[in-house]
Amino acid sequence: MVSGKAIISSTGPIRYGMVGGGQGAFIGGVHRIAARIDGEFDLVAGALSSDPDRARASGRELGIADDRNYGSFAEMAKAEAKRPDGIEAVAIVTPNHMHYPAAKAFLEAGIHVICDKPVTSNLADAKKLAALVDKTGKLFILTHNYTGYPMVRQAREMVAKGQLGDIRLVQAEYPQDWLTEAAELSGSKQAEWRVDPKRSGVGGATGDIGTHAYNLARFVSGLELDSLAADLQAFGAGRQLDDNANILMRFKPKGKASAARGMIWASQVAPGNENGLKLRIYGTKGGLEWTQADPNYLWFTPFGQPKQLLTRAGAGAMPVAARVSRIPSGHPEGYLEGFANIYAEAARAIRAARRKGGKPEKDVIYPTIADGVEGVAFVEACVKSSKKNAAWVKL
């Protein structure tokens, strides 16, 4: 994670373009809403589909000018780099296998990148992309959007300040049920590419939602993973990628404390679950529990005392949570606002970069290419472990 605080300011909205996210896509619309919430971004260009006709039709629906409504990301990167009013950043919201070539094209064109996770479909490409980010000096923001929730930021700060003591246990889960039946055979575009190793990569549920659970656990706990043991299943008939994962984790020792242990369950075949992301962290002095379905609440239990309910913008809310809250307590903020916080942090970083490569102040937090490389390494380690009958594998 990169950290920085700056008031979003000056010289108009950030000009951005989008790759993917056209007609029939879910996540593209989420990105566009998130980018609009604070008025910091202006969508001015796009290559919204791998099909040129569909791309241009999608762009027209969104009001993108014809001369900036491109048939391919390669054409878009080249053309926008030459324009005096060209885009400053691009949002990449394609299936996983297209993240690397698209991000590479825009980084080489001198354009900042905002990219969906996992950062690439394989670790080799992730490492090459990290080297390119370093070479170009461009910003790379990875949309692990759950790190944008105010009470997740609060939990992270409480752990960092020692309010839980030495961390012993970290548990994360992300169950869904939408692949319980063969949605990939029913015409679902979202399901088709997620079960295809050529487009998704080596991980199914591990890459799609397991990476979110892992990133959230790392973000809040501050612990570094040492090794894991993973048992992956493909319950869906004929599926080549996992749709259920049970993962044990051993973290590296921190200070004099014993090394913490962790567990992740990620499933897309658990009936009755929608997007059931949960995190629990327990230490020598207390525990924390956060559930995405009720994101404005954080349960804190000091050892030997009753549970305390902390609320977004309520009594006990810390400055780190307050700075990413928009409305008073009791008015719920949710998924879109949390996602928008990643875009707001990206805006602060991009505005700082406008000032001849300046950096945002220390309170700005967003996932980076380093988080992306680690996420893909996590997925590949899970697959490797499972193939060895859940043997322990070093990250």
For residue 50, the domain's CATH number is 3.40.50.720
- Give me the CATH number covering residue 303: 3.30.360.10
Same domain, 211 and 344: no
Same domain, 196 and 318: yes
372-378 mean pLDDT: 98
Same domain, 301 and 209: yes
Per the domain annotation, does 390 fall within a domain? no
Per the domain annotation, does 276 fall within a domain? yes
Same domain, 169 and 229: yes
Same domain, 93 and 188: no
Q: Has residue 335 got a pLDDT over 50?
A: yes
Q: Which domain holds residue 130?
A: 2-146+340-365
90-100 mean pLDDT: 97
pLDDT range class, residue 355, cuts 50, 70, 90:
confident
* Torsions phi, psi for 35 (to 5 deg): -70, -25
Q: Which of 7-11, 27-31, 256-260 has the lowest mean pLDDT?
A: 7-11
Both structure tokens of 345: 């942090």
48-62 mean pLDDT: 96
Per the domain annotation, does 244 fall within a domain? yes
Distances 119 to 69, 158, 198 between C-alpha atoms, Å: 25, 29, 15
Q: Dump pLDDT digits (tens) for 281-307.
A: 999 999 999 999 999 999 999 999 999
Q: In this structure, are residues 110 and 83 in contact, taking their beta carbons and an 8 Å threshold?
A: no
d(CA 242, CA 267): 9
pLDDT range class, residue 24, cuts 50, 70, 90:
confident
Same domain, 59 and 163: no
pLDDT range class, residue 2, cuts 50, 70, 90:
low
Same domain, 183 and 243: yes
The per-residue pLDDT for 6 is 35
Q: Has residue 149 got a pLDDT over 80?
A: yes
DSSP strands (E only) in the chain: 2-4, 14-19, 41-47, 89-92, 112-115, 140-142, 167-175, 225-233, 244-251, 261-267, 278-283, 286-291, 297-302, 308-311, 364-366, 393-394
Residue type, 180: T
Per the domain annotation, does 163 fall within a domain? yes
Same domain, 126 and 245: no
Per the domain annotation, does 298 fall within a domain? yes
Same domain, 192 and 213: yes
Q: Which of 10-24, 66-80, 157-171, 225-239 has the lowest mean pLDDT?
A: 10-24
Q: Considering the entire predicted model, what is its pTM? A: 0.95
pLDDT range class, residue 1, cuts 50, 70, 90:
low
Q: In this structure, are residues 338 and 148 in contact, taking their beta carbons and an 8 Å threshold?
A: yes
Same domain, 167 and 98: no
Same domain, 157 and 116: no
Same domain, 79 and 99: yes
pLDDT range class, residue 360, cuts 50, 70, 90:
confident
Per the domain annotation, does 266 fall within a domain? yes
- Number of domains the chain is built from: 2
The per-residue pLDDT for 391 is 98
By DSSP bridging, strand 225-233 and strand 244-251 are: antiparallel
